[in-house]
Amino acid sequence: MRKYIENARRQLAECIQCPPGNVIFTSSATEAANQALSPVVRVSGRETRVSRLYVSAVEHPCILSGGRFAADNIETVPVLETGIVDLARLEQALARHDASSGAPMVAVMLANNETGVIQPISEVREIVRRHEGFLVVDAVQGLGKIDTSMEELGADFVLLSAHKVGGPQGAGALVLGSESIVPAPLLRGGGQEGFNRAGTENTAAITGFGVAVERLPRAETNEKISAIRDSIEDGLRTISNAKGEQTGKPVFFGQNSDRLPNTTCFAVSGIKAETALISLDLAGIAASSGSACSSGKVRKSHVLAAMGVSSELASCALRISLGPESRMEDAARFLDAWRDIVRLCSREEIPMAV
């Protein structure tokens, strides 16, 4: 069974351009995050104290929870209304960091799972390096959509997940920027994963992870997906401007920032997310009101709140995600369903608030 795990390790390493030995397989990206967010990091075999964790306000909950850091040692860095981390505030936070107590650790995701906004990781990296800190990058959403090579990211620790790229659930990875910089193990016991992650590996899931990364979409496929996303947004604007409609114009969150090609997060004032989701479901269309990690729960997004979006508008927010199999016909079907929703809301045949 070992050969299947090592083959998957090689496949993932080739995909993100790093030595295979830098890939530590875990059960999920959440587990990888909890391992990476460690107050103790081994640097060239010597333990280094990390005294404070700085996280952007739009991170995934597994990052916001702080891993193994005490709550008092976690600081949230705000984002701009564009969804981009406030680099000036990050610089200020690290400038006042007490280096005598230990090094700082900064966690900023590559791309947001709700809005698709892509963070300026290279600029974040420069700030972190200037203050001799460690950088953790959640690249789960970016893998297969934008450049996630270790050279491009330049992070100390990168988090990945199999099922977000079409692989099976039950496999994730913590990728090291350098084999000489390793967080203290989260799970101790056996010598699996080079003594970095004890416990019998999930061979089937890890094997599937390797197969999935070899089948990631090509650049031209992502360009096609981006065109479909743009057609949806154009269609939403057109429908909102139709004569006689009473709903507001669509607001696209993060539209002035670089975004993933497959994601649009929008809201139309007057059409609550609950109302829209029910109607879309009846039309056979799957959508969400936020992160897939909160599917089935309609609640205000912490991401939109961090971007300064009002509670009223956030309650109308929907996320549409596309994939390699998406077609323009799917976009047209969604827009037809949305047009019906707007007409019903405009005629007040269904409640505009729940």
User: Per-residue pLDDT for 92 more than 70?
Assistant: yes
Q: pLDDT confidence of 347, banded at 50, 70, 90? A: low
Q: What is the mean pLDDT of residues 17-23?
A: 98
Q: What is the mean pLDDT of residues 140-150?
A: 97
Ordered DSSP codes for 59-85: --HHHHT-TTS-GGGEEEEPB-TTS-B
Rounded to two decimals, the pTM is 0.93
Q: How do beta strands 317-321 and 23-26 pair?
A: unpaired
Q: Give dist(CA 215, CA 255) in Å, integer.
A: 29
Is 18 among the residues known to form the active site?
no
What's the longest Cα–Cα distance across the chain? 69
Tokens for 81, please give them.
């209304």
User: Is the four-CA dihedral 152, 50, 106, 41 of positive or negative sign?
Assistant: positive
Mean predicted lDDT score pLDDT of the chain:
93
Mind listing the domains of the chain with CATH numbers? 2-214 (3.40.640.10), 219-346 (3.90.1150.10)
Q: What percent of the chain has pLDDT over 90?
A: 89
Ordered DSSP codes for 169-225: TT-EEEEES-TTEEEPPSS-SS-HHHHTS-S---HHHHHHHHHHHHTPPPHHHHHHH
User: Per-residue pLDDT for 296 more than 80?
Assistant: no
Question: How much is the pLDDT for 354?
Answer: 36
Q: What is the mean pLDDT of residues 294-308?
A: 78
Segments in 57-166 forming alpha helices (H):
61-64, 87-95, 121-130, 150-153
Q: pLDDT confidence of 245, banded at 50, 70, 90? A: low
User: Per-residue pLDDT for 243 more than 80?
Assistant: no
Secondary-structure percent of the chain, ordered helix, strand, coil, rounded to 5: 40, 20, 40
User: Per-residue pLDDT for 295 more than 90?
Assistant: no
Question: How much is the pLDDT for 291?
Answer: 53
Q: What percent of the chain has pLDDT over 70?
A: 93
User: Per-residue pLDDT for 257 more than 70?
Assistant: yes
289 touches 279 (CB < 8 A): no
Which residues make Cβ contacts (< 8 Å) with residue 69, sequence separation at least 6?
Answer: 37, 39, 52, 53
Question: How much is the pLDDT for 244?
Answer: 52
Q: pLDDT confidence of 343, banded at 50, 70, 90? A: confident
Q: Give dist(CA 184, CA 85) in Å, integer.
A: 28
Tens digits of residue pLDDT in 101-121: 999 999 999 999 999 999 999
How big is the chain by its Cα radius of gyration, in Å? 21
Question: How much is the pLDDT for 260?
Answer: 98
- Catalytic, out of 265, 293, 316, 345: 293
